[in-house]
Amino acid sequence: MTDIFRHTICLIIDSMMHDGLDEKFWRFYLADDMSGLIYVCKQLLVRAENVTDPRVQQVICDSLSYAIDHPDLFTLISAKGKSAYKKQTPNMVAFSSLLNSIHSFCNQYDLGIIQFVHDQNDEFRGTMREFHKLFFKFEQKETPFGGIPLLDDFAHNIGDFILESSKNSYGLQVVDLFLWLVQRDSQTPALSKTRERLLAKSKDFVISRQMSALIVEARKRQVMSKPMGLRETMHAKAKAAELEKQRLELMGK
């Protein structure tokens, strides 16, 4: 259930980031300004009082309080400096998604890789090499209801990781052409049809509120449609009784 809980909290935090607090957060985060980040946490802690679900409210409040009390654990400097920061950027999130997509493609067609050629990038080349070396030889296996994914050995050859300019690679030139087609407004009917054909065969990877909302809804449908046996039913009733007891105890306080 990790997946649905994580994205539910993402949606709630995003809703609390109004009145320019989101812009302040990113400005403080990119500057590694811990006093500014503590200010954001305190603002969110006040706004968390309006979260209607008591259990979600408790998780958010406890997390924010812990961050406020232990700021030294959350700076980029304490995370081993700029190299650690690079691993959390959208560039590396997209690169990780690319590795997972290649796993899926290879498994579908029973193929290995001879060379993995990526566009030259001076800023992230070290981090990309590290990700490829550490993670590409393993693949993620989904668990029921979006729990923590398991890792298994990748059954195919992972090839050599190469960084080079698109000037020297026909494959990278094709990728550049694809990006050019999907990112610009179509000016002619022929270009529009080509763009539509490409998009029809692609799967979007988006980090957004809408994507989190879709994941939460999909997991809810998955949970609600899965049949439950006697063992699962009894476990669910016991857990519900335990949570209700905790709720009544909190109300009594």
Give 226-240 pLDDT, tens digit per residue. 777 788 788 888 888
Domain with 229 in it: 209-252
Domains identified in the chain, total number = 3
Rounded to the nearest 10 degrees, how much is the dihedral formed by the CA atoms of 70, 71, 74, 79? -90
- Residues 121 and 174 both lie in one domain: yes
With a cut of 90, say whether residue 3 has pLDDT above it: no
- Residues 123 and 185 both lie in one domain: yes
Picking from 6, 35, 36, 10, the residue whose alpha carbon sits closest to that of residue 21 is: 36
With a cut of 60, say whether residue 147 has pLDDT above it: no
Question: For residues 200 and 185, which has the higher predicted lDDT (pLDDT)?
Answer: 200
Whole-number pLDDT of residue 48: 94
With a cut of 70, say whether residue 75 has pLDDT above it: no
- Residues 59 and 93 both lie in one domain: no
Whole-number pLDDT of residue 139: 83
Give me the phi and psi of 119, to 5 degrees please.
-60, 140
- Residues 104 and 193 both lie in one domain: yes
DSSP 203: -
- Residues 179 and 222 both lie in one domain: no
Of the residues 200, 224, 240, which one is the last residue of a structural domain? Answer: 200
Of the residues 79, 94, 112, which one is the last residue of a structural domain? Answer: 79
* pTM for the model: 0.56
The residues facing 140 across adjacent strands are 151
How confident is the model over 235-251, as a mean pLDDT? 84
